[in-house]
Amino acid sequence: MVKSISLCYNLTRIETLRENRDSLIEQHLENKGRPPRGSHDDDVEDRFSTIPHKVDFINDSEIVLKKQFGTDSSVLFNMTHFVGKAFISFQYQHFRDYILEKAESSSTFLNYNGSYLHVSKALHPHEIIW
């Protein structure tokens, strides 16, 4: 009956990692790998020399987080990342029609962990702004 289910997740953490990485790379390139001019503080030089290591750490963190989206089924991960929407593809259109009709006739038709699910027909691909 169901061909596939695609869950929607909040990707803010990945976006934040990417923004931090891009900022570090930009800072590193602007100064050609050297600390900013006029800075004679050893601490500034030490912190600035670790930018490539920070970028590596951010890249590793992003990889780990992306793997979690595909494999982590823990309640905590899902509660903090799942946005509450899923797209379901059916093998045949009449399966979709049956679910839509049942959901329309009864608001308590689908129940998941004590919560009633809202069902609506997805937009046609030409109505989606990519």
SS3 at position 17: helix
CA nearest to 24, candidates 60, 56, 51: 51
* Whether residue 43 has pLDDT greater than 60: no
The full set of domain ranges for the chain reads 10-83
Contact predicate 112/104, CB 8 Å: no
Most confident range, picked from 35-44, 64-73, 117-126: 64-73
Q: What is the pLDDT of residue 2?
A: 81
Of 17, 53, 61, nearest to 33 (Cα)?
53
**Higher pLDDT among residues 29 and 31, named by residue:** 29
Residues 58-99 have pLDDT tens digits of 999 999 988 888 788 888 887 888 887 888 888 999 999 998
The token pair at 106 is: 């009864």
pLDDT at 36: 57
Predicted local confidence at residue 22, as pLDDT: 93
pLDDT at 62: 92
Of 56 and 73, the one with more pLDDT? 56
pLDDT at 16: 94
Q: What is the mean pLDDT of the chain?
A: 81
Q: Would you state the structure tokens that stand for residue 129, as one six-digit string? A: 């702004």
Count other C-beta atoms under 10 Å from residue 58's C-beta. 19
Q: Are the C-beta atoms of residues 27 and 54 closer than 8 Å to each other? A: no
What pLDDT is recorded for position 58?
92
